[in-house]
Amino acid sequence: DGGITQSPKYLFRKEGQNVTLSCEQNLNHDAMYWYRQDPGQGLRLIYYSQIVNDFQKGDIAEGYSVSREKKESFPLTVTSAQKNPTAFYLCASSIGGVAQPQHFGDGTRLSIL
């Protein structure tokens, strides 16, 4: 079954700690995206990648970092510089280009200890 897998489902971060959220897809999609969702809000774009070894900042990239070394994988690191990391993080992928639907994973909920 093709799809996007995010892990872990729940994650807790201590003060001063970096944490990494995993996102893997087996849809053979070129483009991948990371979003942040706060309670009762829409999604805000953190980073996106249209092709392997390339990525761009979204609207709220400060305090986050990503890598795209493999087509299937797009991990997101929430650094200690992100002072308000508590949120629901969603990863998505698409074929790429314009007018293409995005396919989403089931998210990782990050909380502060």
Question: For binding to another protein (CB under 8 A), which residues are involved?
Answer: 4, 6, 31, 33, 35, 40-45, 48, 50, 56, 58-59, 90, 92, 94, 96-107
Given the complex with another protein, which of 16 and 101 has the nearer CB atom? 101
5 Cβ neighbours under 8 A, 6+ residues apart: 22, 23, 24, 25, 105
Given the complex with another protein, which of 63 and 107 has the nearer CB atom? 107
Given the complex with another protein, which of 10 and 14 has the nearer CB atom? 10
Residue type at position 77: T
Q: CA-to-CA distance for 101 and 95, rounded, in angstroms? A: 8
